[in-house]
Structure 1
């Protein structure tokens, strides 16, 4: 994927830059060219990564990374749907609503005396599920845990889907098969319809994706997931109450039903569907709340015991234990780093309240901690102090070495000097809107952009350019004689920068004439360009000022 030196047309609005008053045209916001028709641009906006999706921002971390991912998909995978795209999010929202409606209709459907009356409505939900299976063959997936990447290759998508959810999705969409052959046997129809329960895990996964994309809090996501699981349990409990009886009786309307079934005891065989559903739903709630008590109340020693009732007890206990352990372990077990992070944030909030910080400063501090720790707390220096020299060097090179190695002018340096430079780099974080340095201040360091966007301003306040991932700035004050900053720099987005102090620069990079000469030439070009734009902007301001005076 090569960067284009010409001025490309950006397909992204300025909205990504969080209210930054950008003076640059849209064509200068990205170095990745996407040339196609307006219709194709709209389609790309739907199927490529969505820059407003918090999951995409956490994965790619910068405007440059998001633009590069869009360019990669446009050039190499034009028919694939990105997992963090607008279209995929809409599909998941529609599918979650469709599945919840489908499961609810399923319980209502089998509460009737003759469920055949509304088979077409159930087949419509099967069609939605089949449509989702088809879309899944063209939707990429995120691979990896710590170093995540979006896989968009169609063959890899098919293999991954086939190994995971394809069989379950297909089994959940086969209830229409008996209707094709006019099969009315309940012992065949009911088990096939029961296969729809395989949709439940997919529904929970989609619900999590939607809540994350909508930036819901941890508490909100927890409540939504638990309530959805409880609701689905109750709905499927109602379905199985009827399905088990229908299969055991061999018919939806048996002529001589068994006296020990709950429908016979409640005398509901000839009642309306609404009454039958309400009664079954009440039983489901009772099973969920006090299963063992109801079991003693309904069944006498001389009567037959419903196998479904016993199974329901096991499922209820499993659901309750799962919900309890899931969220206890998420806070205290497998995600202990996140638990420490939340504890630390609470301490920071208490400190800010005690000091009576204004809301603006509170918000910036919390943003800083979120960016610095990525919702997990881990003391890296303790690990680095324990590992061997070689392993410590490998870890340091992984942290900042990739950024150093990718710079063309540093590739000629020996590997030992790469390690030396990386050990001198200091990670610094700036929140969107922070001033990194001001013009006419003494320059004591050079910055490498790891993730983020930085805007450079001239003396007159003209925005000169945007710098993205892999760029560096601040070198002019280090190589010119006056040692002062010739421009101001502001963090357009949240930025992760590596800082190289002046003494470290002079002790490493400046010792190599070729590399130092490259820095010096680039610094002179940037300085001249800034001066030219600054003079043009001053001229424009003088013209505007004269025009205003003439109108007075």
Structure 2
């Protein structure tokens, strides 16, 4: 049934609301005439407003264009030099290109099984390239992929530093670090050592996207799977051996240079 508002309001509907008893909330077709009613209606408005702010603030869409404009304004105000501006722009372009959503919010409400299935689909290229995942059950691979965190490094950025405590390993999605390319992984050696120290510094050769697997998830999924553990342990042993050989070559080269310097000083 359609209700005629002017009939409900009577004479009050045809004049300005100048008295407290004439005040309405705007959410009801009836005016509040009692203080208790006005208070209740005001609380309803406040609750509804807070709910809408919270709800729409949780929506999964991310306005990349607005965000990039804010970055540009920040760089302008802070007077970034041109080379630094170019690096910042390159990072954000690579990180957010064509992505107008928050992936965490999109996947957050799904069941774990469905999230793993979607992750397997979206990361199929990485799965196909990573030998570590060969012949491993899809459910296990999906669980590992669900724990990965995307990161982007520009050319000449250091991803790992020798001597630092290792708390994660990395999978290369796109790009090159040192001599490792798409599908390779690194950083696992420190996670298998007692002191957990990084044995080498790893630098990005070009813009590179990697996926980080934290040590807690590494222990939970990689070390608990016999096949993946055997593969990663063998690779870590090989890399440790290669690192030792490189250290010996570096030590011999340094000693040779010192001897040449001493010989030159003696002649002078």
Could you state the TM-score of these two structures normalised by the residue count of structure 2? Answer: 0.69
Instruction: Find the counterpart in structure 2 of residue 495 from structure 1.
Output: 208
Distance 1:416 1:430 in 2: 30
Would you say 1:479 and 2:192 are equivalent positions? yes
- Structure 1 counterpart of 2:102: 380
Deviation at 1:548, TM superposition (A): 3.2
- Secondary structure, in 3 states, of the residue corresponding to 1:367? helix
Structure 1 residue 521, shift from structure 2 partner? 1.9
Deviations 1:253-307 (A, max 9, x none): xxxxxxxxxxxxxxxxxxxxxxxxxxxxxxxxxxxxxxxxxxxxxxxxxxxxxxx
Give the structure 1 partner of residue 137 of structure 2: 414
* 1:538 paired residue number: 251
- The secondary structure found in structure 2 opposite 1:493 is coil
SS at match of 1:544: helix
1:518 maps to which residue? 231
**Paired residue secondary structure (2:182):** coil
Residue 386 of structure 1 and its aligned partner are, at CA, apart by 6.0
Q: 377-386 vs 486-495, which deviates more?
A: 377-386
Say if 2:240 is the partner of 1:527. Answer: yes
Write out aligned runs for 1:44-55 (5 A).
Answer: none
Residue of 322, 339, 352 corresponding to 2:75: 352
Structure 1 unaligned regions, length at least 5: 1-336, 456-465
Q: Is the 8 A contact 1:450 1:497 kept in 2?
A: yes
- 1:414: Cα distance to partner? 1.5
Deviations 1:148-168 (A, max 9, x none): xxxxxxxxxxxxxxxxxxxxx
Q: CA separation in 1, counterparts of 2:212 and 2:226?
A: 21
* CA deviation string 1:164-210 (max 9, x = no partner): xxxxxxxxxxxxxxxxxxxxxxxxxxxxxxxxxxxxxxxxxxxxxxx
Paired position in structure 2 for 1:11: none
Local SS of the residue matching 1:508: helix
> Displacement of 1:404 after TM fit?
2.9
1:496 counterpart SS class: strand
Change (3 A) 1:386 1:378: farther
Alignment RMSD:
2.3
C-alpha contact 2:116 2:145 (8 A) present in aligned 1: no
Matched with 1:434 is: 157
Residue 385 (structure 1) shift: 4.2
Report the Cα distance in structure 2 between the residues aligned to 1:493 and 1:363, rounded to whole angstroms. Answer: 14
Deviations 1:299-346 (A, max 9, x none): xxxxxxxxxxxxxxxxxxxxxxxxxxxxxxxxxxxxxx9xx5444322
Distance (whole Å) between structure 2 residues aligned to residue 387 and residue 482 of structure 1: 38
Quick check: 342-351 or 398-407, which moved more?
398-407
| Distance change in 2, residues 1:424/1:401 (3 Å) | farther
- The aligned residue for residue 549 of structure 1 is 262
Aligned length: 203
- Please list, as runs of the form range in 1=range in 2, the aligned pairs for 1:215-234 lying within 5 A after superposition: none
Distance 1:522-1:389 versus aligned 2 partners, 3 A rule: closer
Cα shift readout 1:360-411 (whole Å, capped 9, x = no counterpart): 433321111011112x341133433466766543331123343234433422
Q: Is the 8 A contact 2:172 2:183 kept in 1?
A: yes
The 3 A distance-change label for structure 1 pair 389 and 533 is closer
Specify the SS of the correspondent of 1:484: coil
Contact 1:401–1:419 under 8 Å retained in 2? no
What SS class does the counterpart of residue 424 from structure 1 fall into?
coil
Q: Specify the alignment match of 1:99 in structure 2.
A: none
Alignment of 1:246-257 (within 5 A): none
What's the offset of the Cα at 1:415?
Answer: 1.4
Distance 1:443 1:389 in 2: 28
SS in 1 for 2:123: helix
Match runs of 1:31-180 below 5 Å: none
Contact 1:439 1:484 in 2 (8 A): yes
**Alpha-carbon deviation of 1:506?**
0.4
Greater relative contact order, per chain length (Cα 8 Å cut-off, separation 6+): 2
CA distance in 1, matches of 2:111, 2:214: 26
8 Å CA contact 1:479–1:519 kept in 2: the answer is: no
Distance 1:425 1:531 in 2: 30
Partner of 2:223: helix, strand, or coil? helix
Task: Say yes or no: does 1:470 pair with 2:203.
Answer: no
User: Structure 1 length as normaliser, TM-score?
Assistant: 0.35
What stretches of structure 2 of length at least 5 have no aligned partner? 1-60
